Amino acid sequence: MAEKRTIDPAVIEILEKAEAEGISTAFDRAETTRPCPIGHDGNCCKHCFMGPCRLTGKTTVGICGATLETIQARNLARSIAAGAAAHSDHGRDMAHTLIAAAIGEAPDYRIKDEKKLRGVAKHLDVETEGRTKEEIAIEVGKKALAEFGRQEGELLYVRRAPPKRQELWRKLGITPRGIDREIVETLHRTHAGTDQDPEHILIHSLRTALGDGWGGSMLSTDISDILFGTPVPVAARSNFGILREDSVNVVVHGHEPTLSEMIVVAAGDPELNEYAKSKGAKGINLVGICCTANEILMRQGIPVIGNFLSQELAIVTGAIDAMVVDIQCVMQGIQAASEHFHTKIITTSPKAMITGATHIEFDEHRALEIAKQIIKAAIDNFPNRKKEKVHIPDVVDHLVAGFSHEYIAYMQGGVYRESFRPLNDAVIQGRIRGGAGVVGCNNPRVPQDDAHIEIVKELIRNDVLVLTTGCNAIACAKQGLLTPEVMDYAGPGLREICQTIGVPPVLHVGSCVDNSRILTILTQMVTEGGLGDDISDLPAVGIAPEWMSEKALSIGTYFVASGVYTIFGIGSPVAGSEEITRMISQGWEEKVGGKLEFEPDWRKIVEKALAHIDAKRAALKLEEYSPTRYTRSTAYFPGDYTSVEEFKQGSYTRSLIS
Ligand code: NFS
Ligand code: SF4
């Protein structure tokens, strides 16, 4: 039973424990709560109290006369706006923290990456000559905040896109004016009785999502790098085996690096470690879940316990003394799960509380003090842990993360000659067939991590370089796909490039806001030359195999608006309308060169992705891709594997070589 719900061996073990102890998890609830078929397909409108109007059977319009297409478009538009809001509000808080740090009001933070600060300043038209880094940072922070509230003109970061793309956006009238403004306008347009032309509604969704990708998210990534350092490769470990029976286990979960970076500092504090010893523990063991984990993994190498669907199960190990959460993707179910154990759930964001949880509100002005208070609460809870209720699966995998776009440029030529030339040349020659951004959530409607892992493996076997973020990155980490050894399973051309540059064929580029790094990488490839003059010319795709969140829809939409063919797994939120399905696929492709599709079968996702990459290669008149051209020896040719275990442990290739 548990095997059908996940491919993660540690999760299987803990699901069995949960079942034996009668603890409900999202996996169980997904079985008992079947999706409402009307809402699932996008056929229900709740935008006013004359309804809700459910358009099924004989009912073809709502009470106000809204058509199915209008209702579908409004629902999708609102989801995209909510996703853009979540990312962007996170970005806004980063800007506030930057200013507070620069004026000395957040003394525990400092400007860690001055080079990045100066680069960002240039993008925001901030003068750097003869100014201190604090002076620059204050203006960068203020300019960033102004981008959220901008009322007119264009977001400054739009200029970071290829010129042809910028022109297209202007021509279509979808250049975002202000990050917040486009989100608010979506809410306004989708209010009952406002915008009732589905195509017109959805065009605005492109604009809203662009405000996220090239605005809120990109600013968030940039400012996080300035404050906490631009990531460089770092080795780390993942999965449940990183928990320790003899130590205070603290999990950070959520999205913002502001608090978790301070928790890293507090967890290393000698006094607190002594205090932990006084309570009978060996020390403090800090681990992460979801994108908070990705943030501190990328920069500090803090181990990651799991992705979205692992959160309740982490508690079921009985070994967590505190789970510290901030915003987004935190299931309310963790509170109920924690009540079976001694685990303390600590909410920290002024924006997000959970009934029953302990709230220790974070304030960046007293960051370290609060982080220490949180760690102390975890230590104080350690003696309450019941040994007999603890079970830690002995599953650990190793990984390398930390591939910022700056590092990807650096690794292709060092400080003096950094560029994208080697990568572009490899694509031109067909050593690398193309690129894929594989990203996004878990969803208990499908086995956890299965589609994530199969898609990534198939892509690298087919010489497609994979950039990963979010919960896909964690899935890859848990299955050992973020290690250089995985090269052995990559196609021969990709393998050769990875060997030469010294990177794995699957590059962890960060959290979900860091999908903005993928936009930058795609732009750098266009700028480098030889692969067309717009992002839509590149042999590249975006894939979200197990999506669930509105943020994923916003990401998918800004990928599309930037010219990328983007495929989502699971199913379609607009399945109820062929016309809307066509509008966001062919319709958007005709306008912006990218399209959004939903395809539940991961094999078909791979087929579509490869076909698209090959079609783009043909359009660029590049060498036709051949899987055998760069094969030197059969020993290196990736063969068929029969199980994840086999692929992971390299038994197939090893047997060929020996
Ligand atoms: Ni992205 Fe990261 Fe995971 Fe999905 Fe949630 S953690 S912001 S939304 S579930 S990938
Ligand atoms: Fe029904 Fe129209 Fe109100 Fe929606 S806006 S609930 S379709 S009456």
Q: Where are the domains of the chain?
A: 2-54, 68-228, 240-389, 397-657
Tell me the ligand closest to 294's alpha carbon.
Answer: 1
Q: Are 68-228 and 240-389 equal in CATH topology?
A: no
Nearest ligand to the CA atom of 253: 1
Ligand 1 within 6 A of 441 CB? yes
Query: CB 245: neighbour CB atoms within 10 A?
Result: 16
- Cα distance between residue 15 and residue 17, in whole Å: 5
> Does any ligand 1 atom lie closer than 6 A to the CB of residue 541?
no
CATH T-level fold of 240-389 = Rossmann fold (3.40.50)
Find, among 656, 621, 651, the residue nearest to 636 by Cα.
656
User: What gap in Å lies between CA 414 and CA 411, rounded to an integer?
Assistant: 6
Do 185 and 150 form a contact (C-beta atoms < 8 A)?
Answer: no
Which fold does the domain 68-228 belong to in CATH?
Answer: Substrate Binding Domain Of Dnak; Chain:A; Domain 2 (1.20.1270)
User: Which ligand 1 atom sits nearest the alpha carbon of residue 87?
Assistant: 7
The answer to whether 523 touches 424, Cβ cutoff 8 Å, is no
CA of 67 to the centre of ligand 2 (A): 10
Q: Where are the alpha helices (DSSP H) in 150-178?
A: 163-172
Q: Which atom of ligand 2 is nearest to the CA of 63?
A: 8
Ligand 1 close to Cβ of residue 444 (< 6 A): no
Ligand nearest to the CA of residue 472, numbered in listed order: 1
Asked whether the beta carbons of 308 and 548 are under 8 A apart, the reply is yes
Mutate to test the pocket of ligand 1, among 328, 549, 554, 559 (most ligand atoms within 8 A of CB): 549
CB-based contacts of 229: which residues, under 8 Å, 6+ apart? Answer: 112, 113, 299
Series of mean pLDDT values for 10-residue runs along the chain (658 residues): 88 97 97 93 97 93 97 98 98 98 97 97 97 98 98 97 98 98 98 98 98 98 98 96 98 96 97 98 98 96 97 98 98 98 98 98 96 98 98 96 94 81 95 97 97 96 97 96 88 92 92 98 97 98 98 98 98 97 98 98 98 98 89 44 48 29
Q: What are phi and psi of 482, to 5 degrees?
A: -105, 35
Contact 62 CB / ligand 2 (< 6 Å) = yes
The angle at the Cα of 424, spanning 418 to 429, to the nearest 5 degrees, equals 140
CA of residue 21 to ligand 1 center, whole Å: 28
Is the Cβ atom of 61 under 6 angstroms away from ligand 2?
no
The CA 472 to ligand 1 mean position distance, Å, reads 9
Please state, in angstroms and rounded to a whole number, the distance separating the CA atoms of residues 403 and 506: 10
State whether the beta carbon of 551 lies less than 6 angstroms from ligand 1: yes
Q: How crowded is the C-beta side of 602, counted as CA atoms within 13 Å?
A: 18
Question: Ligand 1 within 6 A of 218 CB?
Answer: no
Ligand closest to the CA atom of residue 326: 1
What's the pLDDT at 502? 81
Instruction: Give the number of the atom of ligand 1 that is nearest the alpha carbon of residue 469.
Output: 10
Largest CA distance in the chain: 72
Nearest residue by C-alpha to atom 7 in ligand 2? 62
pTM, full prediction: 0.95
Give 230 Cα–ligand 2 centroid separation in angstroms.
47
Q: Which ligand is nearest to the CA of 510?
A: 1
Contacts of 345 (CB under 8 A, 6+ apart): 322, 323, 325, 334, 335, 338, 354, 356, 357, 358
Give the nearest ligand 1 atom to 470 CA: 10
The residue whose CB lies within 8 Å of the most ligand 2 atoms, and thus the one to mutate among 46, 53, 188, is 53
Whose atoms come closest to the Cα of 195: which ligand?
Answer: 2
CB of 266 sitting under 6 A from ligand 1: no
**Gap between the Cα atoms of 33 and 28, Å rounded:** 9
Which ligand 2 atom sits closest to the C-alpha of 52?
Answer: 6
Q: Which atom of ligand 2 is nearest to the CA of 53?
A: 1
**In angstroms, what is the span from residue 186 Cα to ligand 2's centroid?**
16
State if residue 45 touches ligand 2 by the CB under 6 angstroms criterion.
yes
Ligand 2 within 6 A of 64 CB? yes
Of 79, 221, 329, the residue with max ligand 1 atoms within 8 A of its CB, to mutate for a pocket test, comes to 329
CB 47 near ligand 2, within 6 Å? yes
Residue 646 is predicted with a pLDDT of 54
- b/e map 539-554, b = 16+ CB within 10 Å: bbbbbbbbbbbbbbbb
CB 457 within 8 A of CB 438: no
User: Which CATH architecture fits 397-657?
Assistant: 3-Layer(aba) Sandwich (3.40)
